[in-house]
Each structure stands twice: as structure tokens, then as C-alpha cells.
Structure 1
Amino acid sequence: MRNVFMTVSYDGTNYYGFQTQPGGNTIQDHLEAAIVHLTGEVVKIHGSGRTDAGVHAREQPFHFSTSSLIPLERWRLALNGRLPSDIRVTEVREVPMDFHSRRSAKRKTYRYSINGNRVPDVFQRNLQYHHPGKLDLSAMREGLKYIVGTHDYTSFASRRSTKTSHVRTIYEAQMVVDTSSDYPGTHEQGIIHFYITGNGFLQHMVRIIMGTLLEIGEGKRRPEDMGNILEKKNRMAAGPTAESKGLMLWKVEFNEEVLLLNSEIADE
């Protein structure tokens, strides 16, 4: 038996999220079906976390146990030939049997993208939230600072959250503005990317943070309101949940040693 670790990228536009659901059509459903088609073996994959319907992933790690003897170097090409074109396996390796994609993860980074130009990009329309109105980017950057640290994020969690604790740590939060695609002679705001890195995230947490930051950018709230919202520990205190299509699971990080087999450690 082997524990196989893979990383998958996907455009989540046409799917009901990563984790399998009764209605089907999730990323997990398609991955498991491709593995069955390839090996004849029914497996259950375990992702590093969930993504909601319409949310994308640049790097979503998952693992599963298999008795298949297919060489690791053949898995990626074989699975990608059996997956829809908007789902692609990008990395394959064998890991220790006690490795778990969710429990072993140390840091996760999400990116939320806002197209602040007057006209949406037809090629990126499914990956960006379009906001043609003027945003106060300085105020949004200032508001972003308040979420960094260890806090109870109840105000930024879905009311349906089932977690026993809403305490999480946000290590970094930054805003990057890309104006490279602006049309000459226009006065656009560019593509505004928000990167938020933490030890874990609650259901809808990043999207609620972004919905609140958008209200700050629109002048409906002040940057310091982010701190007050955190203190209230009440979902009603925060802004709306931003659209899912602007959100992407950007990166999941592990301590390298948890990925190494005993033989690899011995070789070192």
C-alpha cells in the first residue's frame, strides 16, 4: 500500500466546490472517477481543505492510499488524459503513510482578485470580481492590517460554521495592484490582488473579509472598523460575502520533512 500525494489546479467555475456532495459534479468526484478509470480501484481522496462552488485553486494538495503499482511518473499524464480540461494534476509523489493533506498543512494562502477597470477582461472574467466604481485602495490596504495576528474570527465566519473554535492566525495580508493590462489613455484602477496567509481558514472567511474591505473601499466603512468588527465576534457586524469567482486557493505549505519517506531521509 502506498500513500500518494498530488497537487491539482482547477477553474472552479463549473463545479460545486472541491469536496464531494450528494449532487455530484465536484472536483473530488472527477478526481476519484479518473483514478477508478485508471486503476480500477475505488479510493477516497483527502484534500488540504474545501473550496466553495465557483472558487478556484492554483495549488490544492490531496492524498489517497492505493495498492496500484503504476509508477509515480505516469500518474500525472494518465490522470490528466481522463480529467476535464479545467482540472489538471500538476505534481505527484509518494509520502509517508501517516501524512495527511489537511492535518499536516502549516500555512495556506488565498488570493482574491478584483478587476477595478471600467470594462471587465473577457478572458479573466471567471477569475476576477469586477468592480468598475472607484475604490479607495489606501483605505483598503489600511483595513487589511487589522486582520493580521491571532484572533477570534467569528465575525468573518459563515453562520453555518461548525468549528468548535474560530480562533485562527493570519501571518500575512497584502494588496498588490497590477496595472499592466490597463488600456492606454484610460484612467483605470488595474487588477487588485489580495493575498492572505494563515494557519487555517473558516467557511467563507476570506470572502467575508473581502466583502467588508470592499465596503471600506467604497467609503461605507472606515479602515479601523475592521478591528471593531473582530472584537464584536458577530457575523452581523461584518460586510457581505464577496462573490466566489474572485477567490483562489493560491498555495498550501508543509514542513518538508513530513513529505519525505524513510528511505529519502536515510539517503540524506
Structure 2
Amino acid sequence: MSTPSFEPQAFERADTETLPEGTRIAMALEYQGGAYRGWQSQDKPKVATIQDALESALSSVAASPVTVICAGRTDAGVHASHQVVHFDAPVGRSVKAWHAGCNALLPADIAVRWVCPVAGDFHARFSATARRYRYVILNQLRRSAHLVGGVTHIDVPLDEALMHREAQVLVGEQDFSAFRAASCQSHSPMRNIHYVNVSRHGRYVVIDIQGNAFLHHMVRNIAGVLVAVGSGAQPVGWTAEVLASRDRSQGGVTAKPHGLYLVDVNYPSEFDLPQLSPGPEFIRSFGAEFAADRP
């Protein structure tokens, strides 16, 4: 029987040295977003958010209020396999205490992947140089009860090679007005997409996209356009037409949130953050490219 292999940092660090009060702490999370109204805390009572759940757990570990800042705010129903946050420790605690204590207090659908003390100038949002998302589509006739909420089900055949070719017009720094939500509050529609890869793995089609940052609903709107072309509902070249229009009304339907995962956030090497393979967990068996840190 072969010995199972594990990620080199898949287990919590056994660092029990107490870090001083005021230490800036970086933390990576994974979560299922289905039960939450997105990442950000809301003024409405009894609205569950990822931020509230995490801050509650951290505040219990610290016996003092803790506020976190994240790399990218995910929408309601959207998941993450590598969301990065930071906070300034209000009390002295060890890495192990923050990691194990937080995991013991978080709901089952939120987990801490790693904890790391960082320099005081580290900022989860502003220090990030890139964000990476994967949109996972279950492309078969019947839906799956086991995968509900974790993938987007599309029951018509998709031409993933065509979708990949269509997506290449999105690469580079461009005006993505046609792919931003009407409620988007960003001051500029300009974003730089580093790459978009669309590939099939049996019954799954995966859209893998990285950019410096993303507008509100931008990845879901891109997915919606690519699916429309890949299914034959729109003609070849429609992605370029939508992009050139700079008009959101030309962009078709926003894809559902269920298949969307924030899978990685890049930072300058000087911060020396742990590197784990991107997720989500269940697609790592698709091949080596899905287990790698970078494509």
C-alpha cells in the first residue's frame, strides 16, 4: 500500500512562542459561501457573513475585539480556498493559539489554512499584486445532489476549446465596463487580466482567471459570456464585441455564484507567506496543473 502524500504545510504550525501584542498577523482561510451573505459585515441584523464569523472566533481567542481586513470581498454564495486576511493582535498569542483556537471556534464551513506573523507594512488588500479565481462548471445532463452549492450545473454541451479562444481577448489592461455590476463602486473600470484558461476535465469545465484586481461581479459576468458562446447561444467573437461595447447591458446573464472560488492571492516575496496549492480541494485530482501553485 502506498503512503499518502500531503502538502508540505497542510498541518498547522507547531509554533507555540507567544507573539507580542500589536504583532500584525496574516491568515489564509477557506470557506463554503452558500450559507453566508458574502464576506463583508452588514448593518442588517441576523445576516450571516464570513467576516462576522471570523471576527467572532478571533475575538474569543483574544478575549478582546478583533477586526480583520481581507484581500478580496466575495459575494453571497461565492467560495474561497485561499482568502487572505490580516489583523493586529490586541494581545500576545502564539501562531498555534490563533490557528487552532480559531479553527475550534469557527463553523464547519470556514477553516484557517495557515497563520503567519508579518511586517507591519503588510496589508491583505493593498499589498496584493494579483487575485486568482476558478469557476467550476458541472457540464452534464443531470444535476448532482452531492455537489449542490459547490459547482454551477449547465446541462447543454459546452465547447471548452472555443471558450478558451474567446477568453484570450480579455487578457491585458483594458476597460471592463461591460463586465462590471451596476452596483460596482470602483472608481475605474480598468483592470489587468494576466491570463484566462478554460479547460475540460471529464464532466467538469473550469475557467481559471488571474488579474491584478476584479470589479464587482466581473468574474461571474465573464463566465456568463463565455458560457453563452461555448453553448452556441451566442456567436463566435461575441466576447470581443461585449468588451468593446463598454456597456453592461450588452453582456448577457451573470453566472451563478455557486461555482466561483477565490483560489489564490499573490504578494511580493519579501513578505514570505506560506504557499499552498490552490483549490478547490475536489478539483486537485484533475491533473498536475491544478495541484501547482502557479499555472
TM norm. shorter chain > 0.5: yes
Does structure 2 conserve the Cα–Cα contact (< 8 Å) formed by 1:209 and 1:239?
Answer: no
1:206 maps to what in 2? 219
Q: What is the rounded CA distance, in whole Å, between the counterparts of 1:113 and 1:162 in structure 2?
A: 27
Q: What is the rounded CA distance, in whole Å, between the counterparts of 1:52 and 1:196 in structure 2?
A: 17
Does structure 2 conserve the Cα–Cα contact (< 8 Å) formed by 1:146 and 1:224?
Answer: no
Counterpart residue identity of residue 140, structure 1? M
Give 1:96's match in structure 2, choosing from 119, 122, 125: 119
Q: What is the rounded CA distance, in whole Å, between the counterparts of 2:165 and 2:235 in structure 1?
A: 9
1:185 maps to what in 2? none
Does structure 1 conserve the Cα–Cα contact (< 8 Å) formed by 2:171 and 2:194?
Answer: yes
Q: What is the rounded CA distance, in whole Å, between the counterparts of 1:229 and 1:249 in structure 2?
A: 24
SS at match of 1:38: helix
1:131 maps to what in 2? 154
Give 1:17's match in structure 2, choosing from 20, 35, 38: 38
Q: What is the rounded CA distance, in whole Å, between the counterparts of 2:222 and 2:252 in structure 1?
A: 8
Q: Give the CA deviation at 1:259.
A: 4.7
Structure 1 moving runs of 4+ over 3 Å? none
Within a 5 Å distance, the mapping from 1:129-208 to structure 2 comes to: 129-179=152-202, 190-208=203-221
Deviations 1:241-268 (A, max 9, x none): 00011100011111120358xxxxxxxx
Give 1:52's match in structure 2, choosing from 65, 75, 78: 75
Deviations 1:151-199 (A, max 9, x none): 10000000111111110110111012111xxxxxxxxxx1101100000
Q: Give the CA deviation at 1:74.
A: 2.3
Counterpart residue identity of residue 137, structure 1? E
1:8 maps to what in 2? 29
2:270 corresponds to 1:247: no
Aligned residues: 250
Counterpart residue identity of residue 127, structure 1? G
Give 2:128's match in structure 1, choosing from 105, 117, 120: 105
Q: Give the CA deviation at 1:132.
A: 1.2
2:112 corresponds to 1:80: no
Does structure 2 conserve the Cα–Cα contact (< 8 Å) formed by 1:96 and 1:259?
Answer: no
Percentage of matched positions with identical amino acids = 33
Q: What is the rounded CA distance, in whole Å, between the counterparts of 2:263 and 2:195 in structure 1?
A: 14
Q: Give the CA deviation at 1:84.
A: 0.3
Counterpart residue identity of residue 75, structure 1? W
SS at match of 2:258: helix
1:29 maps to what in 2? 52
Q: What is the rounded CA distance, in whole Å, between the counterparts of 2:200 and 2:76 in structure 1?
A: 26
Q: What is the rounded CA distance, in whole Å, between the counterparts of 1:140 and 1:203 in structure 2?
A: 22
Deviations 1:125-144 (A, max 9, x none): 21111011122323212211
2:6 maps to what in 1? none
- Determine which structure has greater relative contact order: mean sequence separation of CA pairs < 8 Å that are 6+ residues apart, divided by chain length: 1
Does structure 2 conserve the Cα–Cα contact (< 8 Å) formed by 1:2 and 1:97?
Answer: yes
Structure 2 spans left out of the alignment, 5+ residues: 1-21, 274-295
Structure 1 spans left out of the alignment, 5+ residues: 180-189, 261-268
